[in-house]
Amino acid sequence: MKVSQLPYRRVTLEEYRPALEDLIARIQRAGSVREVLDARRDYLKLDLELSTSQSLAYMRYSINTADPFYNAENDYYDGAGPAFAALQARYAAALLDSPFRPELEKALSPLLFRTLELRRRAMAPEIVEDRAEENRLISEYSKLMASMEFSFRGETLPRALLAKYFKSPDRETRREAMEVLGRTLAQHAPQLDSLFDRLVHVRDRMAKKLGYQNFVELGYYRMERLCYGQEEVRIFRENVLRDIVPAVARLRTANAERMGIRRYMFYDNDVIVPGGDPVPVDKEGIFAAAREMYHAMGPEPGAFIDNMLENEAFDVDARKNKWGGGYCTEFPKYRQPFILANFNGTAGDVDVVTHEAGHALNVWLIADNPFYQELSCGGMETAETHSMSMEFFAWPYMDRFFGENAGKYRFMHALDSLSFIPYGTMVDAFQHIVYEQPDLTPAQRNAAWLDLERQFRPHIHFEGIPYLEQGTRWQYQMHIFESPFYYIDYCLAQTAAFGFLLASREDYDAAFASYLRLSKTGGEKLWTELLAEAGIPSPFTPGALKTLAGRVEALLKEIQV
């Protein structure tokens, strides 16, 4: 069935609450393991309806944030969502506190119970209203960014379409486009500062109500991290500074000199190939090439892409009032992934059918896993390993997307991917600063960002760029507002993706088979266990990032065009 035809029905709190309370009571009075398992089975049926309804509502809201019906549906789940979550936390507590827990862990999965414990720590009735307020503020931010328009050379553009000029081979065009971005953001500075300040404080308030020192601890629980914590992330940040940052600064500076750039400005950061980064074929060509690529990869990827295209499970046209980023979601009841993006005619359009489709392929592969609804694909670091690795497994097929410029794309992609690790780690460091010091003023937050820029991206200069020179680049990184502490997962996953890239250059078929095994496992193993099985070093292993930086730098010199 086409995604546009999937039936939608709001699942109300009024119908959900008594049904779930009955299930909780069944678990609490159960006289056997079988009775608990039967209650779990019925819970999964109930949860399937709710999760599908929420996902459909958000998708249809995000493709047009001005749609009055789905705006109201999204608002409903913003307000009621925390109450649903509080009920689900009570269900988790009933399983965790069951006298049959040892037998249940054997019958189900110890990882499921560890995950339920984190969910219990992250939610309680006393923060339901605060979570609802947080949701409302996130929606306010997404609507603001979706409605923002940028006037550039006689055109009025959403940010996604302005961004194509950041990759222009003409430096003056890039500078002018970045200045338009800065000036327009400056016009909305009071709203952006106010929104973020309110988000920081409502999150801090929730953490303290739950007995935590600040939101950092609560944020980690919300991310449901099972194989690493704050200390491991701190060590990772230090290793990035020591081992990755110098390599990236060296590579990007040398590359800029190839393009005749002596002082590397922020508006130079999106262009890597002298003469301009490669441009892919048009939208129809991208999807035709994607279908060929996934069929060449094997029968399972081929069946997946056929499903996506035949069910029109992509929305990729940039337009006003559409959510400005990209994502993959799923409608579990219909076993259907969906991808939203904003094509703008740059190489980033190809990432949609590699990165986001890596997520969607995983959804396709794990739909029959026994813990799919409860554990999904695992943590976000695992999810992003699926997507970022697929970007690299697509390398042999890039001639279908870029023709004779496929080599330029591969060089650009590898350098950009390595460069991302310091940036993404900087985003994470910024969030630690912000939530450890929630009373920082907007100016102090901007100063903290500028300081991090000097540490993590010392080769980039911002002077003279309106507004952005004040340290406000973070304000259009949507994850900072919408998904706190998510961003480091991209960085961790990028190291794993490079591991798959390096392995694929030695034996592509074996590496891709290993990748498919990892993806099919879903959340039933820890990320570090999955990496070990794939023969990829954990980024927490001493020296792993130094080795990675050296191998990727050597690869870049080998494939430089």
Predicted confidence at residue 122, as pLDDT, reads: 97
With contact defined as beta carbons under 8 Å apart, do 527 and 381 qualify?
yes
Going by C-alpha positions, the residue among 118, 296, 292, 131 that lies closest to residue 217 is 118
Spatial separation of the C-alpha atoms in residues 400 and 2, rounded to whole Å: 27
Given 3-state DSSP classes, what are the helix, strand and coil percentages for the chain, each rounded to the nearest 5? 70, 5, 25
Q: Where are the alpha helices (DSSP H) in 505-543?
A: 508-521, 527-534
Q: What would the mean pLDDT of 113-134 be, rounded to a whole number?
A: 96
Query: Does residue 380 sit within a domain?
Result: no
Query: Does residue 395 sit within a domain?
Result: no
Query: Does residue 29 sit within a domain?
Result: yes
Query: Does residue 30 sit within a domain?
Result: yes
Query: Does residue 381 sit within a domain?
Result: no
What pLDDT, in 10s, does the model give residues 262-275? 999 999 999 999 88
Handedness of CA 43, 46, 52, 54 (dihedral sign): negative
For residue 203, the tally of other CB atoms under 10 A from its CB is 26
Q: How does strand 336-343 pair with strand 327-331?
A: antiparallel
Spatial separation of the C-alpha atoms in residues 419 and 476, rounded to whole Å: 19
* Percent of the chain clearing pLDDT 70 (strictly above): 100
Q: Which residues pair with 156 in a beta bridge?
A: 151
Locate 428 and state its tokens.
């994470």
Distances (CA, A) of 494 to 18, 219, 229, 422, 431: 44, 21, 18, 11, 20
Predicted confidence at residue 437, as pLDDT, reads: 98
| 561, pLDDT greater than 90 | no
| 115, pLDDT greater than 90 | yes
Report the SS3 class of residue 341: strand
Residue 14 CA to chain centroid, in angstroms? 32
Query: Does residue 252 sit within a domain?
Result: no
With contact defined as beta carbons under 8 Å apart, do 111 and 524 qualify?
yes
Residue owning tokens 């976000």: 380
Query: Does residue 525 sit within a domain?
Result: no
Report the SS3 class of residue 316: strand
Query: Does residue 298 sit within a domain?
Result: no
| 323, pLDDT greater than 90 | no
Spatial separation of the C-alpha atoms in residues 221 and 301, rounded to whole Å: 33
Going by C-alpha positions, the residue among 86, 78, 77, 93 that lies closest to residue 27 is 93
Q: Which residues pair with 315 in a beta bridge?
A: 340
Predicted confidence at residue 165, as pLDDT, reads: 96
Locate 421 and state its tokens.
């690790």
For the chain, give the mean pLDDT: 96
Residue 380 CA to chain centroid, in angstroms? 7
Predicted confidence at residue 311, as pLDDT, reads: 98
Give the phi and the psi of residue 134 in degrees, each rounded to 5: -60, -45
Spatial separation of the C-alpha atoms in residues 320 and 63, rounded to whole Å: 10
Q: How does strand 155-157 pair with strand 150-152?
A: antiparallel
Predicted confidence at residue 275, as pLDDT, reads: 87
Domain extent for 73: 3-108
For 32: left if phi > 0, alpha if psi spans -120 to 50, otherwise beta; the answer is beta
**Count of the separate structural domains present in the chain:** 1
For residue 154, the tally of other CB atoms under 10 A from its CB is 5
**Global pTM value:** 0.95
Side chain identity, residue 314: F
* Percent of the chain clearing pLDDT 90 (strictly above): 97
Spatial separation of the C-alpha atoms in residues 324 and 281, rounded to whole Å: 22
Predicted confidence at residue 482, as pLDDT, reads: 96
With contact defined as beta carbons under 8 Å apart, do 159 and 324 qualify?
yes
| 462, pLDDT greater than 90 | yes
Spatial separation of the C-alpha atoms in residues 93 and 89, rounded to whole Å: 6
| Length of the chain counted residue by residue | 561
